[in-house]
Amino acid sequence: MSTFMMKMTEPLSCDPHATVCTGTSCLVPPSNFNEILSLVLSTVLTVMLAFVMFAMGCTVDTKKLWAHIKRPWGIFIGFLCQFGIMPFTAFALSLAFNVLPVQAVAIIIMGCCPGGSSSNIICYWLDGDMDLSISMTTCSSILALGMMPLCLLIYTTTWTSADTIMIPYDSIGITLVALLVPISAGIYVKRRWPEMAKKILKIGSILGFVLIIVIAVVGGILYQSSWVIAPSLWIIGTIYPFIGFGLGFLLARFVGQPWHRCRTIALETGFQNAQLCSTIVQLSFSPAELEVMFSFPLIYSIFQLVAALSSVLGEYLPGMKAKNDECGYSRPGVSNSF
């Protein structure tokens, strides 16, 4: 009996990986698996994105690019959409759905962000104007250095002081470098070795399409703990990209832009730099506030991809065979003759 009692009073053994053990109270160190996975995937995806933008640079015709810069009508329309339509739409949706103040600010931050590089990839697959797409993405990233603080000052004062929002200018600068360097290299390769550029473009366009899907899936896995949020944020994150695409297309068509440029301007309007939005949100809000709105940038990015991929499938699946039979199949963007 005494032996049995001794065994009953002996402390249970702790987990071999426990850092603190007091009797039966054991603390196991938190797993850093997600951090390691995030770092590895971020490195791999960055390299892949650089190659994809290098391939997109292989579509650029320097004469047409210079023509867009000298007569920036398309760029100007894109500017109005990017920093006029999108922030105002975010403001209107926040008021219409009566979301929490921090949620409203997150929505407006997304609306004030410049365009993302994913728009260039989708533009290629939708027979858009690649020269216009790349010039618009570059210009919106540069103009964001001044337009983001201005738009945030105008639209967020209803809920918070604009001084509380930290804009990571270094991240915008890194985005610009990551965009311009590989694209410039691609332009150079196209001028020197046009046949090689076609092969690079074929690989890069497919890789870019895969990359967009992988980023969405990986984001969903890494931040799955943030999916439980208000239904209003789900609704806004779902319809907001479609509103951006639609209004951008209608404005471009209203001022008489040709169809391929309307598609391009629509993509540049609807596609926002969700990664930049996430960075700003993390820098500006407390952990308690992040719980109710951190996943909004991810929701928006997923549904902007859904809208874009639906457009790609709608463009290619019905008419692919007809195009091949009638005029031969050539990848959009290689000749850039619209």
Q: What pLDDT shows up at residue 315?
A: 63
Nearest to 284 by CA among 186, 127, 160: 160
Q: What pLDDT shows up at residue 95?
A: 92
At residue 250 the predicted structure's pLDDT band, cuts being 50, 70 and 90, is very high
Q: What pLDDT shows up at residue 91?
A: 93
Q: What pLDDT shows up at residue 21?
A: 52
Judged by phi (left if over 0) then psi (alpha if -120 to 50, else beta), residue 193 lies in: beta
What's the CA gap between 329 and 323, in Å, rounded?
Answer: 6
Q: What is the pLDDT of residues 287-322, one digit of tens each?
A: 777 766 777 888 888 888 888 777 767 666 555 445
Q: What is the mean pLDDT of the chain?
A: 76
Q: What pLDDT shows up at residue 11?
A: 46
Whole-angstrom CA distances from 100 to 97, 117, 123 are 9, 30, 35
DSSP string, 60-79: --HHHHHHHHHSTHHHHHHH
- List 20's β-bridge partners, or say none: 27
Mean pLDDT of 178-202: 84
pLDDT over 50 at 228, yes or no? yes
β-strands 20-22, 25-27: how paired?
antiparallel
C-alpha atoms less than 13 angstroms from C-alpha of 103 in its C-beta half-sphere: 23
- List the domains of the chain with CATH numbers: 52-316 (1.20.1530.20)
Percent residues over pLDDT 90 in the chain: 8
Residue with more model confidence, 311 or 268: 268
Q: Which two tokens stand for residue 70?
A: 């000298």
